Amino acid sequence: MRRYPDWLKQSFSPNGTAREVKTLVHDLNLVTVCESALCPNLQECYSQRQLTFMILGDTCTRSCRFCAVPHGRPASASADEPQRIAEAVHRLRLRHAVITSVARDDLPDEGAGHFVRVLQAVRARNPGVTLEILVPDFHDRAPLIEQVMREGHPEVFAHNVETIERLSPMLRPQASYPRSLRVLRRAADLQTSSLIKSSVMVGLGETLEELRHTIDDLVHAGVTHLTIGQYLQPDSDHVPVMEYVSPQRFGLYEALAYEYGLRWVKAGPFVRSSYHAVDAVDAQRAPSPIHALS
């Protein structure tokens, strides 16, 4: 029986809004990373009409050792998915929509064109909505990154480095830490108005110095917004948790990240890459808080 520390024990009773969101997602035959990745915040976020749509199916072509999303041979992308997501955003009255995808290494454009079609459909149906995309690495193919930025015009471009450099080959065998940094740098260098965002998991055996190095790498790659959260093992087939990081240490990590000049940081045991994502957009013009390290 897995034992969690007290700070990882939470109860959240779903209200009518959470049930409404879940019903709508299923009625429109949509996929959310909230459900597919077994996110511990699902009930909280659904109750606040916050969710992350996952496009291009529910099966990933990669097999990261931390991720609960199924992997294998994906089905063909649904041509009407952009319209169904646009309709969900409209019915839920979202002012900020987050869209991610499984990796689709099987497609010639790795799904970049579908991202653009989804963004365009959502914006056409929902004028004024802000859009955040959390993309795979597209193998650092410049035309694909430029396509989603120039044609999709997301307010937030996110790509997760996920972990420190030393652990990356073990956790992400089909990805690459340097490649992820290049993707972020390439997006930042396009000089659009998009915020550049990434996310790191902790509790996998990283040291403070290694985390410092990762934050520094992300800043030099052009990242402006960062989330840091606790890794939780989905099941016995995935890598085990090495440490449950205390809320106090997460406070230190958040202060550290601000010291490196990031504009917005969210760190905590339940933080995930899209947790309270709208807050990052709301804070984009606010001055960074001043934190004192102790």
pLDDT category at 13 given cuts 50, 70, 90 is low
Return d(Cα 270, Cα 17) in angstroms, integer: 21
Q: Which residue type, as a one-letter code, is found at position 282?
A: D
Higher pLDDT among residues 114 and 19, named by residue: 114
* Residues 22-72: tens digit of each pLDDT: 899 999 999 887 887 677 767 777 777 888 999 999 999 999 999 989 899
Q: Which residue type, as a one-letter code, is found at position 15?
A: N
Positive or negative torsion for Cα 113, 116, 122, 125: negative
CA atoms within 13 A on the CB side of 193: 9
Return d(Cα 30, Cα 54) in angstroms, integer: 8
Return d(Cα 138, Cα 120) in angstroms, integer: 20
All structural domains of the chain, each given as residue ranges with its CATH number in brackets, are 11-282 (3.20.20.70)
Token pair for 112: 């970049």
Residue 128 predicted with pLDDT over 90: yes
Positive or negative torsion for Cα 134, 229, 251, 182: negative
Q: Which residues pair with 132 in a beta bridge?
A: 98, 156
